[in-house]
């Protein structure tokens, strides 16, 4: 065990330092701000005092004075899986490079983030990014009127900017690959388009491909995005009289579970049925057959979001930005010559 909260130099303020150095607080402030006008001699005195007293300026006092929090907010769903980690990493790194700290808020799956917490978060930052579908539109618009706000991978909302990775086109490409190259004729989409704008767009792309190939569009299997949802979907699929010959899943977690459950039930993947995912998480490379999926530049997206926020905060007019390009990654689960070895990122 160790020292409890401490009597230490806790109450050290700019006044203490000024006293100790025999100067005014203005001078201390100047020195700490790196102003060039102060003489070398004074500077040294001040720095010595700062060091001796172990002084750190109060962040809130500073924020209050400069009218800036020098912080960015980020609202994410409970993050498991690499998607959110990556997004967060990209965001944090970019923010740090800009000298901004990031305050993070995680929403409970399902419930979303309540307006109060959201507002409190917004109050402590200069701008914030919110993953699509977590905060309701009304709260979003209200906040957007107060400070820079960006919705990531979300639905279009009047009055609020957004940024995301491309979905529709690559989903069409992926599905067409299944229909064309692998001659699939009865594909099904696993995922609930209403659960998230991403999923909706992926479904849209799926539908577009089917229509282009004159294939009847089946109702999507509306399940969530977790492993357990994939298992449930697989059971449903297995119970059907007419089984699909291709399962296009909304993300890798569900796809992996489906793949696994199907193989388990004795089906030949990709012989009888193709399975695809979305995200290209680590496990996608390790399973056999390797999971065909779509890779998104998630980290870059996170970084871009932070930089864009900063631009808006500093008043720079941000250049219009298209959705970030994604890439279909072909492995064995769709029917491609599943290289036994996996494709490295």
* Contacts to DNA from residues 43-102, by CB under 7 A: 43, 55-58, 61-62, 64-67
Among 313, 328, 330, 334, binds a copy of itself (CB under 8 A): 313
Asked whether position 117 contacts a copy of itself by CB under 8 A, the answer is: yes
* Contacts to a copy of itself from residues 120-179, by CB under 8 A: 120-124, 142, 144-148, 157-161
Largest CA distance in the chain: 88
Instruction: Give the range of 14-22, 177-185, 266-274, 334-342 binding DNA by CB under 7 A.
Output: 14-22
Residue 159 Cβ vs a copy of itself, minimum distance, rounded to whole Å: 5
Which of 6, 344 has the CB closer to DNA? 6
Which of 187, 230 has the CB closer to a copy of itself? 230
Residue 248 Cβ vs a copy of itself, minimum distance, rounded to whole Å: 20
- 128 neighbors 122 (Cβ within 8 angstroms): yes
Cα 61 from Cα 64, distance rounded (Å)? 5
Which of 26, 236 has the CB closer to DNA? 26
Q: 160 contacts which partner out of DNA, a copy of itself, none, CB within 5 to 8 A by kind?
A: a copy of itself
CB-based contacts of 82, cutoff 8 Å, min separation 6:
279, 281, 282, 298
Which of 38, 103 has the CB closer to a copy of itself? 103
Strand 327-329 and strand 293-295: the pairing is antiparallel
* Contacts to a copy of itself from residues 168-227, by CB under 8 A: 227
Which of 109, 120 has the CB closer to DNA? 120
Instruction: Give the range of 87-95, 129-137, 184-192, 207-215 binding a copy of itself by CB under 8 A.
Output: 87-95
Query: How many CB atoms lie under 10 A from the CB of residue 183?
Result: 10
Q: Strand pairing partners for 160?
A: 157
Query: How many CB atoms lie under 10 A from the CB of residue 11?
Result: 8
CB-based contacts of 130, cutoff 8 Å, min separation 6:
74, 75, 140, 149, 150, 151, 152, 154
* Contacts to a copy of itself from residues 253-272, by CB under 8 A: 256, 260, 264
* Contacts to DNA from residues 255-274, by CB under 7 A: none
* Contacts to DNA from residues 192-221, by CB under 7 A: none
Residue 65 Cβ vs DNA, minimum distance, rounded to whole Å: 3
Asked whether position 56 contacts a copy of itself by CB under 8 A, the answer is: yes
Tell the burial category of 6 from Cβ atoms under 10 Å away from its Cβ (0-12, 13-18, 19+). Answer: exposed
Query: How many CB atoms lie under 10 A from the CB of residue 233?
Result: 25
Which of 24, 185 has the CB closer to DNA? 24
Question: Reduced to 3 DSSP states, what percent helix, strand and coil does the chain have, rounded to the nearest 5?
Answer: 45, 15, 40
Burial letters for 58-83: b for 16+ Cβ neighbours within 10 Å, e otherwise?
Answer: eeeeeeeeeeebbbbbbbbbeeebbb
Residue 146 Cβ vs a copy of itself, minimum distance, rounded to whole Å: 6
Binding site for DNA (CB under 7 A): 11, 13-15, 22-27, 29-30, 32-33, 37-39, 41-43, 55-58, 61-62, 64-67
């Amino acid at each position: 065990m160790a020292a409890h909260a401490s009597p230490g130099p806790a109450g050290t303020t700019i006044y203490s330092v000024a006293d100790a150095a025999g100067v005014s607080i203005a001078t201390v402030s100047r020195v700490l701000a790196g102003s060039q006008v102060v003489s070398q001699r004074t500077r040294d005195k001040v720095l010595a005092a700062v060091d001796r007293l172990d002084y750190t300026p109060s962040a809130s006092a500073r924020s209050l004075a400069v009218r800036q929090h020098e912080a960015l907010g980020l609202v994410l769903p409970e993050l498991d899986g690499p998607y959110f980690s990556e997004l967060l990493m990209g965001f944090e790194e970019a923010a740090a490079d800009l000298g901004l700290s990031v305050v993070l808020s995680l929403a409970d799956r399902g419930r979303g983030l309540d307006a109060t917490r959201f507002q409190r978060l917004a109050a402590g930052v200069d701008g914030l990014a919110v993953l699509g579908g977590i905060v309701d539109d009304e709260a979003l618009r209200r906040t957007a009127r107060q400070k820079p706000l960006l919705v990531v991978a979300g639905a279009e909302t009047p009055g609020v900017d957004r940024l995301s990775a491309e979905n529709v086109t690559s989903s069409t490409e992926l599905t067409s690959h299944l229909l064309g190259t692998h001659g699939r004729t009865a594909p099904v989409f696993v995922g609930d388009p209403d659960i998230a704008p991403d999923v909706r767009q992926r479904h849209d792309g799926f539908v577009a491909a089917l229509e282009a190939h004159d294939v009847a569009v089946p109702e999507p299997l509306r399940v969530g995005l977790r492993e357990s949802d994939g298992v449930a979907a697989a059971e449903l699929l297995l119970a059907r009289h007419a089984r699909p010959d291709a399962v296009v899943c909304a993300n890798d977690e569900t796809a992996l579970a489906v793949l696994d459950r199907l193989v388990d039930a004795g089906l030949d993947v990709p012989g009888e049925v193709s399975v695809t995912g979305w995200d290209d998480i680590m496990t996608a490379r390790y399973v056999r057959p390797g999971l065909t999926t779509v890779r998104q530049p998630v980290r870059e997206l996170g970084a871009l979001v932070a930089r864009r926020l900063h631009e808006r905060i500093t008043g720079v007019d941000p250049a219009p930005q298209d959705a970030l390009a994604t890439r279909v990654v072909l492995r064995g689960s769709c029917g491609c010559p599943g290289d036994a070895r996996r494709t490295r990122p």
